[in-house]
Amino acid sequence: MFAESNVAPLSREDVEFNLFQVLKSEHLLQRPEFAHHDQATFNAVLEAAEGLSIEKFQNHYRKSDTFEPTFDGERVTTLAETREAIMSFVEAGFLTAGLDEESGGIRLPFSILQACYAFFQAGNISTTAYLFLTASGSNVIGRFGTRWQKETFMKPMLEGRFLGTMCLSEPQAGSGLADIRTRAVREPDGSYLIRGTKMWISAGEHEMSENIVHLVLARVEGAPKGTRGISLFIVPKYRVNDDGSLGARNDVLLAGLNHKMGWRGITNTVLNFGDNGECQGFLVGEENRGLEYMFVMMNEARISVGTGATVLGVAGYRYSSAYSKTRLQGRLAGQKDPGLPQVPIHLHADVRRMLLTQKAYAEGALALCLYTARLVDDVATDPDPEARERAHLMLELLTPVVKAWPSQFCLEANNLAIQVLGGYGYTRDYPVEQYYRDNRLNPIHEGTNGIMALDLLGRKVGMKAGAAIDDFGERVRADIGVAPQSIQAYANKLGVKLDRLIDMTRSLISDGRSAEYLANASYYANAFGHLTIGWMWLRQASAAENLLIRGEGEGAFLRSKVTAMKFFFDTELDLVENWLSIVPRVQEALLSDVDIV
Amino acid sequence: MFAESNVAPLSREDVEFNLFQVLKSEHLLQRPEFAHHDQATFNAVLEAAEGLSIEKFQNHYRKSDTFEPTFDGERVTTLAETREAIMSFVEAGFLTAGLDEESGGIRLPFSILQACYAFFQAGNISTTAYLFLTASGSNVIGRFGTRWQKETFMKPMLEGRFLGTMCLSEPQAGSGLADIRTRAVREPDGSYLIRGTKMWISAGEHEMSENIVHLVLARVEGAPKGTRGISLFIVPKYRVNDDGSLGARNDVLLAGLNHKMGWRGITNTVLNFGDNGECQGFLVGEENRGLEYMFVMMNEARISVGTGATVLGVAGYRYSSAYSKTRLQGRLAGQKDPGLPQVPIHLHADVRRMLLTQKAYAEGALALCLYTARLVDDVATDPDPEARERAHLMLELLTPVVKAWPSQFCLEANNLAIQVLGGYGYTRDYPVEQYYRDNRLNPIHEGTNGIMALDLLGRKVGMKAGAAIDDFGERVRADIGVAPQSIQAYANKLGVKLDRLIDMTRSLISDGRSAEYLANASYYANAFGHLTIGWMWLRQASAAENLLIRGEGEGAFLRSKVTAMKFFFDTELDLVENWLSIVPRVQEALLSDVDIV
């Protein structure tokens, strides 16, 4: 029932172009941490990720949407294919590839690993989420847990025997974690009794692993109010005996499955902890530092959300582009003779507009995701301490952007993909409507886009008296300076917008009326995001032009990069100034408490 | 499983504000055609429509999404509630209300009837579609059919005993009707044998009526190629005997149901006509004039699509606004003390931004839909022949706008409604995700938005050497001229944008490079649409200010209208110039035939 396509949802050519031609990832090999690799390894793992994704993840993309997990009151049933995909991922070593050799990994750079993960997200975003949650959870335990916790929980997680969850939200506390109510009471043996309800817990119940390891935020009795009184606990579905064997079921009960518009392949649950007073949990690290531990993972989680949004955008673009080359409809403007044959819709100007807009959004976002992922590597391994610090500031600055911009504009790309397919695109016989439904989650989870905008304007651009925004400006200007002559006019246009962005940002930082401006944070975030994507397109187009000048690479691919850059600059970049002009306006309607009827 | 709300999806206060305070619909009563009505009648039918919609249409909105029609190979099964809604609508007289008394109606003005229909669309857009198709089909037969066709098909349709369909598209011909292949061969008895496949036929098969009356576009043998060789046929599901009783099943077979992202309550079908060579059809009017007959209904059908999109936008706005007043989360900017109580999210500036954007889009669109519907009345009944001609030109000009703008921007409103609800909004427990899925169809059907943009820039603004665009300018300027002093600054801002739009339009009409500009038609349509919606907001805000000055009406409602106008002007109106600046650019990438890789 699903329209077949020979087009892979994510282009390895494009990923490798970004990694090696734009980001020069081969430079990572000069760092001691990665010196045991060579570029052939990088290419090989990317190829392996692509192949496995198509074979084991994409194969049940529609099926996992059609046959949601079910709950009969006792057990949750999921597709066999989902478990098979999870195990194949683990067996291929992708769950541990970023870890040191002593932890069973190969210390793959984060940017390369993130690129591998992008293929799995493109194949099946909800099946991949089981693995991301497990990877994040095991990372938290590995970083902050005790030796016993690592042995008992992290190790089986890395073997895929236990899968993980993150239990932060509650029914009355989603964006506002300061208000979570789940309680923890210390027992004489050092464990804690947990009691409370958690909401939106992905992978919260299923039968695909021997155990489920919940990482749960809760308040210890007497803890300070707000975010400084939150601790982090490991709460297993089944208790674990000292020898590692599984004991009785812990007091964690599935209250119900949430039924979402998309992401239907992964269970999303309401979980009751301690309804019978017997929910055992284990404190991770110290009391009251739970949120801090969780947020250590947050930058990377937000890059993952942005990347997931991006690859759905890319997948829709690639599907609709391929479709447009085979679908015949109408004739070119000016050809009125109905005796002439119909033309592929790829030739209609408005269809080309929709394709190029998708390409500009989705491939621009992909460049940003990989750029940001590379910053994670630079923070960890750049030999120059000052460069590490600069990378850290840039990562902090770009994290809200890489989470929010792709989840907004690649959703719009999916909207256009449907439009290219017309009525067919609106049916469940083609993947583009599922991309659209799946992508709609991304502006919501891991911090809503509204919160990302507040983070960007309210915190990040003002960090260290604007040091991050200054560094941002320097990086963009450096790329403007080295743009090939053939596209210098475009580079200069970007420079004009950049000056305006930096000037306004500086004046906002120094002005005291922050509440007034913060009310317009979303407009600022749009402007910042579009400027950033323009920069990413300049970098891609420069790399492409340089290759074309040298007569290297695949001409059609490279020329399309330049075309998309020009299109984005011609049709979208002026929006930067449009949005910026709104930011300094004091909008009483947003600041008042008058009912909006 | 569906979250209850006491908020009606469409506000009768707002509809009546537009009809009576903005459009002065009571003036219609002075026309002989409507002199038998009074304003109390208008209010009464609106109230009846609202009540019936909530009782019989909204009651199964989610259910009709969850339980799609099924086909067991023989029969299609639909919900009992759907049939009940259809019959209650017919029995209440809404199917015939627009017709003359001699046809069983009460000659309700189109604008009042359209407002009534908006309540049904807001309650359940797919159930309402069965009725709209039947109304359109019976109108076509009533206007162009023979006496026998009216007696045999139209009459039972108006009684709800037969339901109708429109069979235009084919698998290989959707937007390009010139290429339909369905054939008709004249039989000795004057009927025709029809053979071909039709695609996307809503209501194409079900058991809810005694018969189904398909209006089918087909080519008679030897007809000219292209759109001038298309004829229109009545093809019943069951043959009808001379006495009106039903005969044998006609040779129309359901090839399959299409499964869509939304609009799941109405069957959408692939129909095979004449697989066994026995499909009987009856020519409507003359051969080769079929498309012309269909397009007589097209302006009204496009107003309906725009209105459907609009009321889904309104419904999402109203639901999310009500939700935001009860959902507590976080504290106001600056309130860092976690001991303070949480506040309703309605007080957060970014939530207010999302609500006001929805309001600006959806209620701006509603004003446009009702304005355009009024033009239909003016074309038919304005006593001044010149005014009728001007209304006709305006209707032609605004039809692509009223179809496309709401279907684009009220979909975006639904996107924001989901975002206001956060994770809850992404679940099927709240209606906003269904509004979003249902609304996604509207940019596609009854002429895609891309085709609407070509119609607007390529045909409409150039009609009669620009007479329509000139009249448009005069109408907007007239409203600018009478805006109350308190909002004159906003009115003047609209005037500046208007001048720019008209100047550019004039220069495009006189310039010969139409293919180059038509490639940017969608940007032009966006600019034209936003300017038009700004105008609609000026009209609403002026009416509201005048009432406030006189101390009449509901203060909170009226002040919100003024607030929304200011918000739209402050945050959206500058986009007019942004989009206009793109239109004259020659974009080689859109005009070439180079592969977009």
Contacts of B337 in chain A (CB under 8 A): 226
User: What is d(CA B64, CA B534) in angstroms, rounded to the nearest whole number?
Assistant: 36
Of A227, A41, A74, A205, the C-alpha closest to A133 is A205
DSSP, collapsed to helix, strand or coil, labels residue B289 as coil
Q: Select from A225, A260, A587 the Cβ nearest to the Cβ of B426.
A: A260
DSSP, collapsed to helix, strand or coil, labels residue A223 as coil
Q: For residue B316, what are its two tokens?
A: 């999402």
pLDDT of residue B246: 98
On the question of pLDDT at B2 being above 80, the answer is no
Q: For residue A562, what are its two tokens?
A: 């330049």
With 0-12 / 13-18 / 19 or more C-beta atoms within 10 angstroms meaning exposed / middle / buried, residue B478 is exposed
Distance set, CA B64 to CA B244, B262, B424 (Å):
32, 10, 21
DSSP, collapsed to helix, strand or coil, labels residue B328 as strand
Q: Does B596 contact A359 at a Cβ distance shorter than 8 Å?
A: yes
Report DSSP letters for B170-212, one per residue.
BTTBSS-GGG---EEEE-TTS-EEEEEEEEEEET-S-SSSSEE
With 0-12 / 13-18 / 19 or more C-beta atoms within 10 angstroms meaning exposed / middle / buried, residue B565 is buried
Q: How far from the centroid of its chain's Cα atoms is residue A260's Cα?
A: 19
Q: Select from B338, B429, B514 the Cβ nearest to the Cβ of A178.
A: B338
Query: For residue B1, what pLDDT band results from cuts at 50, 70 and 90?
Result: very low
Q: Does B260 contact A350 at a Cβ distance shorter than 8 Å?
A: no
Mean pLDDT of chain A: 96
pLDDT of residue B219: 98
Which of A180, A219, A270, A350 best tests the B interface by mutation, with the highest count of B CBs <10 A? A350
Q: For residue A96, what are its two tokens?
A: 């541990």
Q: For residue B241, what are its two tokens?
A: 């005997």
User: What is d(CA B233, CA B248) in angstroms, rounded to the nearest whole number?
Assistant: 19
Contacts of B326 in chain A (CB under 8 A): none
B256 → chain A, closest CA residue:
A1
Query: For residue A2, what pLDDT band results from cuts at 50, 70 and 90?
Result: very low
Is A249 in contact with A237 (CB distance < 8 Å)? yes
Distance set, CA A269 to CA A174, A254, B127 (Å):
14, 7, 32
User: What is d(CA B458, CA B452) in angstroms, rounded to the nearest whole number?
Assistant: 10
Which of B62, B321, B350, B456 best tests the A interface by mutation, with the highest count of A CBs <10 A? B350
pLDDT digits (tens, 9 = 90+) for A384-430: 999 999 999 999 999 999 999 999 999 999 999 999 999 999 999 99
Sign of CA dihedral A66, A72, A73, A79: negative
Mean pLDDT across B277-305: 95
First-to-last C-alpha distance (Å) of chain A = 45
Residue B175 dihedral angles phi and psi, to the nearest 5°? -65, -30
Distance set, CA B549 to CA A581, B1, B564 (Å):
32, 46, 18
User: What is d(CA A486, CA A549) in angstroms, rounded to the nearest whole number?
Assistant: 10
Mean pLDDT across B47-60: 98
Q: Give kind and range of the element (H or E) at residue B548.
A: helix B521-549
Q: Does A261 contact B567 at a Cβ distance shorter than 8 Å?
A: no
Q: Which residues pair with A232 in a beta bridge?
A: A217
Sign of CA dihedral B87, B91, B96, B97: negative
Contacts of B101 by beta carbon, 8 Å cutoff, 6+ apart:
B107
Q: Does B356 contact A330 at a Cβ distance shorter than 8 Å?
A: no
What percent of chain B has pLDDT above 70?
99
Q: Select from B429, B444, B556 the Cβ nearest to the Cβ of A259.
A: B429
Contacts of A169 in chain B (CB under 8 A): 423
Q: Select from A425, A437, A570 the Cβ nearest to the Cβ of B585.
A: A570
On the question of pLDDT at B5 being above 70, the answer is no
Is B446 a catalytic site residue?
yes
* Extended beta strands in B221-351, E state: 231-236, 238-240, 246-249, 252-257, 268-273, 280-283
Distance set, CA B21 to CA A530, B401, B549, B563 (Å):
41, 23, 14, 17
Q: For residue B277, what are its two tokens?
A: 């060579």
User: What is d(CA A300, CA A109) in angstroms, rounded to the nearest whole number?
Assistant: 13
Query: For residue A597, what pLDDT band results from cuts at 50, 70 and 90?
Result: confident
Name residue B157's amino acid. Answer: M
Is B586 in contact with B516 (CB distance < 8 Å)? yes
Contacts of A555 in chain B (CB under 8 A): none
Q: Going by DSSP bridges, is the β-strand pair A231-236/A280-283 parallel, antiparallel, or unpaired?
A: antiparallel
User: What is d(CA B457, CA B508) in angstroms, rounded to the nearest whole number?
Assistant: 9
Residue B242 to chain A, least CA–CA distance (Å): 39
Q: Which residues pair with B214 in a beta bridge?
A: B165, B235
Q: Does B450 contact A350 at a Cβ distance shorter than 8 Å?
A: yes
Q: Does B590 contact A422 at a Cβ distance shorter than 8 Å?
A: no
With 0-12 / 13-18 / 19 or more C-beta atoms within 10 angstroms meaning exposed / middle / buried, residue A361 is buried
Q: Does A436 contact B261 at a Cβ distance shorter than 8 Å?
A: yes
What percent of chain B has pLDDT above 90?
94
Contacts of B515 in chain A (CB under 8 A): 333-334, 349
Which of A7, A14, A125, A261 best tests the B interface by mutation, with the highest count of B CBs <10 A? A261
Q: Select from A225, A454, A593 the Cβ nearest to the Cβ of B347.
A: A593
Q: Does A227 contact B595 at a Cβ distance shorter than 8 Å?
A: no
Contacts of B360 by beta carbon, 8 Å cutoff, 6+ apart:
B533, B537, B564, B565, B567, B568, B572
Q: For residue A195, what are its two tokens?
A: 């009691």
Residue B388 to chain A, least CA–CA distance (Å): 32
pLDDT of residue A1: 35
User: What is d(CA B405, CA B401) in angstroms, rounded to the nearest whole number?
Assistant: 6
Q: How many CB atoms lie within 10 A of CB B161?
A: 13
With 0-12 / 13-18 / 19 or more C-beta atoms within 10 angstroms meaning exposed / middle / buried, residue A538 is buried
Residue B595 to chain A, least CA–CA distance (Å): 8
Q: Does B437 contact A176 at a Cβ distance shorter than 8 Å?
A: no
Contacts of A360 in chain B (CB under 8 A): none
A575 → chain B, closest CA residue:
B578
Q: Does A350 contact B454 at a Cβ distance shorter than 8 Å?
A: yes
Is A343 in contact with A332 (CB distance < 8 Å)? yes
Is A324 in contact with A525 (CB distance < 8 Å)? no
pLDDT digits (tens, 9 = 90+) for A249-279: 999 999 999 999 999 999 999 999 999 999 9
Mean pLDDT across B71-98: 97
On the question of pLDDT at B4 being above 70, the answer is no
Q: For residue A567, what are its two tokens?
A: 């299109």
Contacts of B430 in chain A (CB under 8 A): none
Q: Does A433 contact B321 at a Cβ distance shorter than 8 Å?
A: no
With 0-12 / 13-18 / 19 or more C-beta atoms within 10 angstroms meaning exposed / middle / buried, residue B511 is exposed
Q: How far from the centroid of its chain's Cα atoms is residue A548's Cα?
A: 32
Q: Is A263 left (phi over 0), alpha (psi -120 to 50) or beta?
A: left
User: What is d(CA B372, CA B381) in angstroms, rounded to the nearest whole number?
Assistant: 14
Is B72 in contact with B117 (CB distance < 8 Å)? no
The predicted model scores a pTM of 0.98
Highest mean pLDDT among A58-72, A287-301, B327-341: A58-72
pLDDT of residue B296: 86
Lowest mean pLDDT among A28-42, B239-253, B327-341, B542-556: B327-341
Residue B559 to chain A, least CA–CA distance (Å): 9
Mean pLDDT across B202-210: 98
Residue A426 to chain B, least CA–CA distance (Å): 6
Contacts of B338 by beta carbon, 8 Å cutoff, 6+ apart:
A178, A179, A225, A226, A227, B331
Q: Does B349 contact A519 at a Cβ distance shorter than 8 Å?
A: yes
Distance set, CA A411 to CA A254, A332, A366, A371, A585 (Å):
31, 29, 14, 21, 28
Query: For residue A5, what pLDDT band results from cuts at 50, 70 and 90?
Result: low
Q: How many CB atoms lie within 10 A of CB B556?
A: 11
Check B446, B516, B545, B572 and give the catalytic one: B446
A558 → chain B, closest CA residue:
B597
Residue A161 to chain B, least CA–CA distance (Å): 29
What's the CA dihedral at A403, A404, A408, A409 to 10 degrees? Answer: -70
Residue B173 to chain A, least CA–CA distance (Å): 7
Q: Select from A321, A422, A453 the Cβ nearest to the Cβ of B350.
A: A453
Supply the DSSP symbol for B512. Answer: S
Contacts of A556 in chain B (CB under 8 A): 595, 597
Contacts of B553 in chain A (CB under 8 A): none
User: What is d(CA B591, CA B197) in angstroms, rounded to the nearest whole number?
Assistant: 33
pLDDT digits (tens, 9 = 90+) for B118-163: 999 999 999 999 999 999 999 999 999 999 999 999 999 999 999 9
Residue A347 dihedral angles phi and psi, to the nearest 5°? -90, -10
Q: How many CB atoms lie within 10 A of CB A389?
A: 15
Q: Which residues of A are catalytic?
A: 446
Contacts of A204 in chain B (CB under 8 A): none
Q: Does B333 contact A444 at a Cβ distance shorter than 8 Å?
A: no
Mean pLDDT of chain B: 96
A587 → chain B, closest CA residue:
B567
Contacts of B356 in chain A (CB under 8 A): 589-590, 596
User: What is d(CA A357, CA A525) in angstroms, rounded to the nearest whole number?
Assistant: 19
Mean pLDDT across A48-74: 97
Supply the DSSP symbol for A170. Answer: B
